[in-house]
Amino acid sequence: MLHIINKSPLSNNSLDSCLRVAQSGGDILLIEDAVYAATTGNAFEGKIREALEKFKIHVLQPDLEARGLADRIIAGVSPVDYGGFVDLTTANNNCQSWL
Amino acid sequence: MSEGNSIKKFMFVNRKAPYGTIYALESLEVVLITAAFDQDVSLVFMDDGVYQLKKGQQTKGIECKNFSPAYRALEGYDIEKLYVDKESLEARGISEEDLLVDVTVLGAAELGELMNQQDVVLSF
Amino acid sequence: MSTIDVGGKSYETDEEGYLVNLSDWNKDVANYIAQTENIEMTDQHWEVINFLREYFEEYQIAPAVRVLTKAIGKKLGADKGNSEYLYGLFPYGPGKQACKIAGLPKPTGCV
């Protein structure tokens, strides 16, 4: 299953809830303001490092670049472009866009 | 989608409190519409979404429609799979007895498993 | 926004003829709306209208036709809880027509 998150984890608990409920082995894609979660030095970094043991975590590169953070991606998080976004949705049986 | 009788598993994940935003009411409307098309519908209430089911809502003072009685009508629509996240209830000091409908309380792992089994998962 | 005039009073309706304010409803208004729908109200009609009003009072929604049919069957018996009977009373659909006469909003999911 693919989980898509689009809110910063420091202002919204979607990512927290997703990490708590999602089944291990699933894909998590961080887009829009959720890309902040994928950057080093962010208060959420520890949780992402922990989550990397359970999930495949992806981040949408254009959203990272737009925010000036392309050089601060946490090791283990994989950047994807829009084509990669589409590949993730087709590779999974179902998908949830968390609000 | 073209076969007239294909039944899909729809899960609605409700994570917002009822009156501050329109999400809870919109979700309820979509749920009722989906049920009218004879689909397999289940509802999850987690995070602030559990507040949607709190007994005793009185909205006169805020001049909003109190839509909480409609959750009790879901049974008549054959929507009987109502799941509530245990941890979200606990974090808000709410127990199963405080809720206005019968629900199944589940832990995170069980919720995640159910989520994986769906054809369509919609967030509200 | 349109209005209907009944007994010297004016009531707001939406463009499809549903009452805007649920509290405006009374039997005269119901009879008037029924007339515009070419329905002559009988005891059988009133039984359904009253049932709908009670349902709305309890759940705050207008039931979908399938739900209404089932609930009527439970309360008034199987001979009334079926589409033939309800469409016989309200030819353009018990959801649409009966809800309008009962002063309720159009049922959710009813187009």
pLDDT in tens, B45-103: 999 999 999 999 999 999 999 999 999 999 999 999 999 999 999 999 999 999 999 99
Find the CATH number of the domain harbouring C83. Answer: 1.10.10.370
Q: Is the pLDDT of residue B4 over 70?
A: no
* C61 lies in some domain: yes
Q: How many CB atoms lie within 10 A of CB B109?
A: 12
Of all residues in chain A, the one with the smallest CA distance to B16 is: A99
Mind telling me how many Å the CA of B77 is from chain A's nearest CA? Answer: 25
**Residue B45 CA to chain centroid, in angstroms?**
5
Of all residues in chain B, the one with the smallest CA distance to A24 is: B112
B48 lies in which domain range? 9-123
Find the CATH number of the domain harbouring B99. Answer: 3.40.1260.10
Does one domain contain both C27 and C68?
no
Mind telling me how many Å the CA of B45 is from chain C's nearest CA? Answer: 20
B76 touches chain C (CB under 8 A): yes
Of all residues in chain B, the one with the smallest CA distance to C72 is: B76
Low-confidence ranges of chain A (pLDDT < 50): none
Q: Do chains C and B touch (3 or more CB pairs under 8 A)?
A: yes
Does one domain contain both C93 and C57?
yes
Find the CATH number of the domain harbouring C6. Answer: 3.30.1420.10
Q: Which of B13, B25, B45, B35 lies closest to B120, judged by CA?
A: B13
List the subunits that have 3+ CB pairs under 8 angstroms with B. A, C
* B3 lies in some domain: no
* B42 lies in some domain: yes
pLDDT at C111: 47
**Cβ-nearest to B115 among A14, A21, A97:** A21
Q: Which of C79, C84, C108 lies closest to B77, judged by CA?
A: C108
C64 lies in which domain range? 43-101
Of all residues in chain C, the one with the smallest CA distance to B30 is: C109
DSSP string, B40-68: EEEEEE-GGGGGGGBS----GGGT----G
* C110 lies in some domain: no
B7 touches chain A (CB under 8 A): no
C62: left (phi over 0), alpha (psi -120 to 50) or beta: beta
Does one domain contain both C97 and C48?
yes
Return the structure tokens found at C54.
């009670």
pLDDT at B3: 53
- pLDDT tens profile C31-74: 999 999 999 999 999 999 999 999 999 999 999 889 999 999 99
Does one domain contain both C52 and C30?
no
CATH superfamily, domain at A2-97: DsrEFH-like (3.40.1260.10)
DSSP C90: S
Q: Do chains A and B touch (3 or more CB pairs under 8 A)?
A: yes
Does one domain contain both C50 and C81?
yes
Report the share of chain B in percent with pLDDT over 90: 90
Mind telling me how many Å the CA of B46 is from chain A's nearest CA? Answer: 9
Task: Determine contact, residues A17/B47, Cβ cutoff 8 Å.
Answer: yes
Counting the structural domains of chain B, the total is 1
pLDDT at C95: 84
Domain boundaries, chain A: 2-97
Q: Is the pLDDT of residue B1 over 60?
A: no
* B4 lies in some domain: no
* B77 lies in some domain: yes
Does one domain contain both C48 and C86?
yes
Q: Which of B70, B18, B81 lies closest to B48, judged by CA?
A: B18
Rounded to whole angstroms, the Cα distance separating A16 from C8 reads: 60
Return the structure tokens found at B65.
């429609």
Please list the active-site residues of C.
110
pLDDT at C109: 59
| More reliable by pLDDT, B38 or A76 | A76
Counting the structural domains of chain C, the total is 2
Cβ neighbours of C71 in B, within 8 Å: 76
Q: Chain B window 11-30: which residues touch A at a Cβ cutoff of 8 Å?
A: 13, 15-16, 23
Q: Is the pLDDT of residue B24 over 80?
A: yes
Which has the minimum average pLDDT: A89-93, B10-14, C14-18, C46-50? C14-18
* C47 lies in some domain: yes
pLDDT band, residue B6 (cuts 50/70/90): confident
* C108 lies in some domain: no
* C109 lies in some domain: no
* C62 lies in some domain: yes
Does one domain contain both C77 and C92?
yes
- B35 CB contacts (<8 Å, ≥6 apart)? B41, B74, B77, B78, B79, C64
Does one domain contain both C30 and C50?
no
Mind telling me how many Å the CA of B22 is from chain A's nearest CA? Answer: 13
Return the structure tokens found at C58.
């309890």
C20 touches chain B (CB under 8 A): no
**Cβ-nearest to B121 among A17, A23, A94:** A94
**Paired strand residues for C3:** C12
ipTM above 0.90, yes or no: no
Could you give the 3-state DSSP secondary structure of residue C10? strand
Q: Is the pLDDT of residue C14 over 80?
A: yes
Q: Is the pLDDT of residue C110 over 60?
A: no
